[in-house]
Amino acid sequence: MTHEYDYLVLGSGIAGLIFALQVSRRGKVAVISKSDLYDCNTDHAQGGIAAVLDATDSFAEHIEDTFSAGASLGKKQVISQIIEQGPKLIQYLIDLGTDFTRRDDNYDSRLENLSLTMEGGHTHRRVAYAADSTGHQIMEALIKNCRDNPNIDIYENRIAIDLITQHHVANDLGFIPGISCWGAYVLDSVTHQVDIFKAHKTMLATGGASQIYSHNTNPDVATGDGMAMARLAGGRLANMEFVQFHPTAFWSPEGDTFLISEAVRGEGAILRLSDGSTFMENYHPKGNLAPRDVVSRAIDSELKRRGEKFCWLDATKIPADHLNIHFPYIGSRLKERGIDFTREPIPVAPAAHYFCGGVIATIDGLTDIRNLFAAGEVACTGLHGANRLASNSLLEALVTAYNAANHPYIEEKVVFPKIPQWRLMGDFNENEWVVISHNREIIGTIMQGYVGIRRSRRLLKYALSRMENIYNEINNFYQHNSVRREVVETRNMAVIAIAVIRSALSRKESRGAHYLIDNPQRDDLHYLHDTII
């Protein structure tokens, strides 16, 4: 079946839905969600969204904090433009119905009345939040507005397989120079039918790829689909070696991982080793509020030195009422596991969390491929550099998606070529399914063991050899079987894992979220540049 829209949105997080709402004023929009609309990284975001919202703060300080946390690899002009748009667009979220926590509940959610918290790497309280479920509150407002909008059609439980480009069409009228996108082939995960979604403009808002690591904080849908599709279509990726590990993910022997927000440390929680001693003061002047890459490496070093699997996050010195009011979601998740964080410490360990790199895009979402935009974690705009400053992710997604939807280029129409139906490959071979299920698990194991917080060139080369073989096995299965969601995801995971490893091998220094034991120092003379694939 063929669907035709003015705008196609792949992904249903903050970037995708902001874009959909804005462009719906200009035409019909299709939103493709791999699962349900809430199943995305935005909904999992606890801490908040960073912006200059207090008279004692300044754009200059937020810019410097972002640049410093990014190990001097961020783009100053990009950082400035995104940060300066922050307050206006947080007000836009409020106008859409986002219920941020306020200083005084008797007053409206005006910017000056928002309660602000502190997170690692920041020099001011500038993180607006909604208790510890900020992302969920934003999603509730955006989803309601999208569902109420007659110009937006929502398709859940569907996954984009490929962007429709010159690779798929017959050039019988002559060659079309460059690469253009005319929509996507989309698989219905329930019926296994593949439909054509034609669109004049397509937005990649598919989020990150931390599922390529066995220990991560992301939902199951974060398999790097948009990054992989852009790469396979001929788009460039940047800075894929900079995978940020969140320092404080809940640890359990069963591997039941969920995020313990950085804001808990912002309110006074302290990291401790098994003997009760503190250690962050030995690694950074800001101690427990050092940038994420520093805290994650510190924890990793201490645990490996001691042969232990987790440390403790101690919030017991924070008044219990304050903890319960500010962090109700975390408190409830911990109580399900028999932990009262007002009385006892939380077992934590670093886990893969966020991709600072991605599809090269401008702050207006423009990519290498005509008619294709990208925003959110899937994109690399130059804001984060080598390491993301806490709570800048929602800010970037919000600003870039809003800018993309209001760029003059968005109204340009295209002439669609003749797009063939998806090539069906016959029956799905259940006997060979182990190729997918087994390799998906192996990808996570290899990346966790060899491409984690501390890397060596020897193990990176070993990982690359293994991963290229795995990709060939998956691709062979993909070429000879009818398509399934798990097959597409595993292909994408292998593509992105290889991109991460190759990028890591090309950077022979340590910077931000990339730490190489062979070259533990930063080398501004030779590596103060982006890694482009």
Query: What pLDDT is attached to residue 38?
Result: 83
Same domain, 340 and 360: no
Same domain, 161 and 89: yes
Distance CA 164, CA 180 (A): 8
Same domain, 76 and 201: yes
Each residue's pLDDT tens digit, 26-48: 999 999 999 988 888 887 777 79
Of 281, 316, 350, the one marking the end of a domain is: 350
- Whether residue 420 is contained in a domain is answered as no
DSSP 384: S
457: nearest Cα among 515, 528, 521:
515
Question: 44-48, 398-402, 440-444: lowest mean pLDDT where?
Answer: 44-48
Which domain CATH number covers 303? Answer: 3.90.700.10
Question: 38-47, 70-79, 94-103, 399-408: lowest mean pLDDT where?
Answer: 38-47
Region 299-325: mean pLDDT is 93
Of 323, 350, 377, the one marking the end of a domain is: 350
Distance CA 250, CA 74 (A): 30
pLDDT band at 107 (very low <50, low <70, confident <90, very high): low
- Whether residue 419 is contained in a domain is answered as no
Q: Which two tokens stand for residue 227?
A: 């990054």
Region 93-104: mean pLDDT is 90
pLDDT of 118 strictly over 90: no
- Whether residue 148 is contained in a domain is answered as yes
Query: Across the chain, what does the average pLDDT equal?
Result: 93
- Whether residue 414 is contained in a domain is answered as no
Distance CA 33, CA 13 (A): 9
Each residue's pLDDT tens digit, 356-366: 999 999 999 99
Domain count, the chain: 3
260: nearest Cα among 213, 302, 292, 212:
292
For the entire predicted model, the pTM comes to 0.93
Q: Is 292 a catalytic residue?
A: yes
Region 516-531: mean pLDDT is 96
- Whether residue 416 is contained in a domain is answered as no
Same domain, 176 and 221: yes
200: which residues sit within 8 A by CB, 6+ positions away?
Answer: 5, 6, 7, 27, 371, 412, 413, 414
Region 232-241: mean pLDDT is 97
Compute the chain's Rg from CA coordinates: 22
Same domain, 259 and 195: no
Region 483-509: mean pLDDT is 96
Q: Which two tokens stand for residue 244?
A: 């940020």
- Whether residue 421 is contained in a domain is answered as no
Q: Can you tell me whether residue 220 is helix, strand or coil?
A: coil
86: nearest Cα among 407, 392, 405, 404:
392
DSSP line for 3-54: EEEEEEEE--SHHHHHHHHHHTTTS-EEEE-SS-TT-SHHHH--S-EE---S
Distance CA 240, CA 359 (A): 9
Same domain, 343 and 361: no
Same domain, 272 and 190: no
Catalytic residue among 231, 265, 292, 511: 292
Query: What pLDDT is attached to residue 509?
Result: 97
Same domain, 363 and 319: no
- Per the structure, the complete domain to which residue 472 belongs is given by 430-527
pLDDT band at 121 (very low <50, low <70, confident <90, very high): confident
Distance CA 176, CA 265 (A): 54
Which domain CATH number covers 74? Answer: 3.50.50.60
Same domain, 285 and 343: yes
Each residue's pLDDT tens digit, 246-279: 999 999 888 788 889 888 998 999 999 999 999 9
- Whether residue 533 is contained in a domain is answered as no
Query: What pLDDT is attached to residue 44?
Result: 78
Same domain, 364 and 393: yes
Helix axes of 225-233 and 485-506: crossing angle, nearest 10 degrees? 70
Same domain, 371 and 485: no
162: nearest Cα among 236, 235, 233, 234:
233
Region 154-179: mean pLDDT is 88
Which domain CATH number covers 491? Answer: 1.20.58.100
- Whether residue 425 is contained in a domain is answered as no
Region 10-31: mean pLDDT is 97
Same domain, 395 and 451: no
pLDDT of 3 strictly over 80: yes
Region 435-459: mean pLDDT is 93
